[in-house]
Amino acid sequence: MIGLTLLSIALMVVDHLSDLLDEVRSGLTVVVTPVYIVADYPNRAADLAQQMFTSRDGLQEQVISLEEQLLLMKVKTEKMSALTAENNRLRDLLGSAAKLQDNVLVAELVGVDPDPNKHEVVIDKGTQHDVFVGQPVLDAEGLMGQVIEVSPLTSRVLLISDQSHSVPVQVVRSNLRLIAQGTGVTRQLDLMHVQGTADIKQGDLLVSSGLGNRFPVGYPVGIVTQFKHNPSEPFAKATANPSAMLDRSRYVLLVFTEASLREPVIGAEG
Amino acid sequence: MATTAGERESSLWVILLTFAVAMLFSVVSLPEFIPWQLGYLRPQWVELVLIYWIMALPHRVGIFSAWVLGLFVDVLTGSLLGQHGVAFIIVAYIASSLYQRLRMFAVWQQSLIIFVTIGISQLVNFWVENFVGLSQWDMRFLLSALVSAMLWPWVFLVLRHLRRLFNVS
């Protein structure tokens, strides 16, 4: 018993300080992958039941509204692609390397960490799909988090709302650069070290600033919900509401940025 | 009555299956309409099943099986490799040194012991996470031990039924 305990402690130390055990972990994860898949069945069954019991009229209405949305999105995308092209041309003129072209891969959520203190989810894409540690993850609304662990078929994503996670962000209106830290509460991010005189107000959009070379530039991170400065304290208190539906999205996007220097897998320009 | 090697092997599947189902229960995601705070009430299914098998079959399930199980739970929940290993070793140690007394106790007395045992293992988990800076002091982790203790009578009945049904020994 003492031997096994010491061995466990040694394993924990090695696992915490180095990545020597990542291979072992990834191998063991393959063994427990079926557990995730089966554990996800209640959710799947609920979705399926909902689909099966939707009436014909309901479906028709849904199709019509989706077609309308598609049309709107197409118009927006056309405008966007023109803007992207223009932007890239201007950047070419400036000799700047950053371009707004990222490839994405769609992944589905298969598990949520049962510990409420940890905001982590498991997705159904792994090293077989070229997912790598540190890869940014988005949903339709904004930045969700980053990959922290990969195995052949699944990977684990740390959400931006986790207490141990921070994102470098930028206020769109004033270009002010800040750090948004997770609080352990799904719908709240804390903005760190905000000056009392900073040009920031409620309703400001925060986008990823790209500093730190982890997240791509310009994806929405959150909306500022509160900005208060108590003169007796060195910094103002500012919080934001994440744009991404951190506890709702079932489909997420894995981003392959040009900076990550990888071959695109399934190409879709975003 | 002596059991043949074949019977032992077939009964091993029952034990493994109960552990697999316990792992399943410990990661199954809650529906969206349930507030996330209720996640603190999630019982330690794997530890409950572990305690039952150690109590019922101490010659088959012991500290080493507990440790291996712990490693799988570590991978499943993305915690440090060995964290649940240590926690499960402690649970297995307490259960295997008390199993003769546990068998004589009434179910509610067993529940009390289980509250303390799972409480200790939760504390160890918490220490490790706190040490590497993953969580802050929060008494809510004891809620899980409480719910586990309250669920014990049912887990006990179901597993005893399974053990008798498949003649696991």
Mean pLDDT of the region B91-120: 93
Residues ≥6 apart with Cβ < 8 Å to A258: A99, A101, A102
pLDDT at B117: 95
Residue in A1, A115, A156 closest to B93 by CB = A1
Identity of the amino acid at B51: I
Q: Which uninterrupted H or E stretch holds A65?
A: helix A56-94
Summarize the confidence of residues A10-29 as an average pLDDT. 87
User: What's A216's DSSP letter?
Assistant: P
Nearest CA distance, B81 vs chain A (angstrom): 5
Q: How far apart are CA A235 and CA B116, in angstroms?
A: 44
Domain extents in chain B: 5-25+43-163
Q: So where are chain A's domains?
A: 48-94, 166-242
pLDDT tens, residue by residue, B44-83: 999 999 999 999 999 999 999 999 999 999 998 888 889 9
For position A15, what pLDDT does the model report?
87
Q: Percentage of chain B surpassing pLDDT 90? A: 60
pLDDT tens column, B7-25:
667 788 999 999 999 999 8
3-state secondary structure of B78: coil
| Cβ A227 vs Cβ A194: under 8 Å | yes
According to the per-residue pLDDT averaged within each range, which of A8-12, A260-264, B36-40 is highest? A8-12
Which CATH architecture fits A166-242?
Beta Barrel (2.40)
CA A75 to chain centre: 26
Which A positions 164-203 lie with beta carbon below 8 A of chain B?
Answer: 164, 186
- Cβ atoms of residues A239 and A225 within 8 Å: yes
Higher pLDDT, A37 or B156: B156
Q: Which of A3-7, A245-249, B137-141 has the lowest mean pLDDT?
A: B137-141
> What mean pLDDT value characterizes chain B?
88
Mean pLDDT of chain A: 85
Are A9 and B78 a contacting pair at CB < 8 A? no
Q: How confident is the model at residue B151 (pLDDT cuts 50, 70, 90)?
A: very high
* Overall average pLDDT of the A60-74 stretch: 92
> Under an 8 A CB cutoff, do A111 and B27 touch?
yes
Average pLDDT over residues A84-100: 72
The tens digit of pLDDT for each residue in A30-57 reads: 888 888 888 888 777 877 887 788 778 8
Q: Which residues of B touch A123 (CB under 8 A)?
A: none
Is B1's pLDDT higher than 50?
A: no
Greatest alpha-carbon pair distance for chain B in Å reads 53
pLDDT score recorded for residue A103: 80
- Buried (b) or exposed (e) across B112-134, using 16+ Cβ within 10 A? ebbbebbbebbebbbebbeebeb
Instruction: Specify the pLDDT at position B160.
Output: 94
Check pLDDT > 60 for residue B116: yes
Q: pLDDT tens digits for A244-253?
A: 988 878 889 9
Report which of residues B30 and B58 the model is more confident about.
Answer: B58
